[in-house]
Amino acid sequence: MKLSDIQRMIDIIAVRTDVTEQEIDELVAAAKRYHFLCAFAMPCYTRMLVEKLADTPDVLVGGVVGFPSGADTTAPYWMISKR
């Protein structure tokens, strides 16, 4: 197995609630440099990731759902409270 094969098995993430735009830029730079499989960030940064990785189509953008640090929208909580 080559290093490039391993890199394509790695997701890179920035899913803390206090992630800064500078850290997102660093994540993007690493994803582009190493051609990781996918980059993840909190939903407020998804559009930024898509835009910044548009010129690197082999790096996918993922989104967190149901993440304990607040990645949900208010809709699921509203539905739960109605049960």
Answer left, alpha or beta for residue 62, where phi above 0 means left and psi between -120 and 50 means alpha.
beta
- Global pTM reads 0.77
pLDDT score, position 43: 86
- Across the range 20-46, mean pLDDT stands at 95
Domain locations in the chain as residue ranges: 3-82
Task: Give 38's strand partners.
Answer: 11, 60
Give 25 or 66, the one with higher predicted confidence.
25
